Amino acid sequence: MDLATLLPLVGIPIIVLGFALKFNPLLVVVSAGLATGLAVGMDFGLLLETFGEKFMNSRQLASIVLILPIIALLEKFGLKERAQNWVASIRSATTGRILMLYMVVRQFTCSLGLISLGGQAQTVRPLLFPMAEGAAISQYGDLPEALRDRIAAHAAACDNVALFFGEDIFIAFGAVLLMSGFLKENGITNVEPLHIGLWAIPTGLCALIIHLIRLSFLDAKIAREIADYRAQSIAQQSSQTMTNGGQVS
């Protein structure tokens, strides 16, 4: 095997080394792409043109680039506070109930192909997490940092699980079409995208039920963590009071 055959693979060690050294992932990938293009003899202008074309053709990446500044402006002008205040005005709202409702709605809309209605950047971070956190704050007051992180993790998990198991039900989803095409290429011609979507429904329902059961215990876990946090705070205050009293005497 000559050197010319190995040149197109120069991007692989760049990616491995960059990720191993924990460099910025975007910088690592772009560097690997540039190195690969130059190694195979592409003109630098053509290489930049290819990068720009792929970027413009990636509608998902372009939408994220446009969404992030908008979300930042909304948060700057009080989107999080308004979401928390609105949830606090609903007496029956709890963290677990809010996440359960979002889970059901998100998975149902994903099964219809409406994937862009939710998402980590445009829904979970600016709306779902503040609402779930606001429900806990309205019940218990100030929350410890570890509990805030736990609520944020549950909010993110709701979106991930609902999207993962909901999108496979939509017959025009890319993965469904890929599976159908792969089976046909290998001689299995009686499996249509509709069949794959229908068989994804039981799996999606099982994932939904299992995750809803997990969320049903979340409110009780939050109550226990708050009780433990307050007990520890009281114990620390008592210990400090006793220590200060002993020093004075």
Q: What spatial distance separates the first Cα and last Cα of the chain, rounded to whole Å?
A: 85
Distance CA 88, CA 79 (A): 14
The pair of structure tokens assigned to 200 is 């994804």
Would you say 193 and 176 are in contact if contact means Cβ atoms under 8 Å apart? yes
Which of 127, 122, 120, 197 has its CA nearest to residue 166? 197
Question: Mean pLDDT throughout 91-104?
Answer: 92
Question: Mean pLDDT throughout 15-29?
Answer: 81
194 pLDDT more than 60:
yes
Question: Mean pLDDT throughout 218-242?
Answer: 86
The residue type found at 174 is G
Kindly report the average pLDDT of the chain as a whole number: 82
Domain ranges of the chain: 3-57, 78-240
Question: Mean pLDDT throughout 230-238?
Answer: 84
DSSP 186-226: TT--S--HHHHHHHHHHHHHHHHHHHHHHHHTHHHHHHHHH
Q: How confident is the model at residue 203 (pLDDT cuts 50, 70, 90)?
A: very high
pLDDT for the residue numbered 138: 87
What predicted TM-score, i.e. pTM, was given to this entire model?
A: 0.67
Distance CA 160, CA 107 (A): 10
Compute the half-sphere exposure of residue 93: CA atoms within 13 Å on the CB side of its CA: 22
| Residue ranges in the chain assigned as alpha helix (H) | 3-6, 11-20, 25-39, 44-57, 59-76, 79-88, 95-111, 129-140, 145-166, 174-185, 193-216, 218-248
Question: Mean pLDDT throughout 64-92?
Answer: 70
pLDDT for the residue numbered 88: 75
Would you say 108 and 141 are in contact if contact means Cβ atoms under 8 Å apart? no
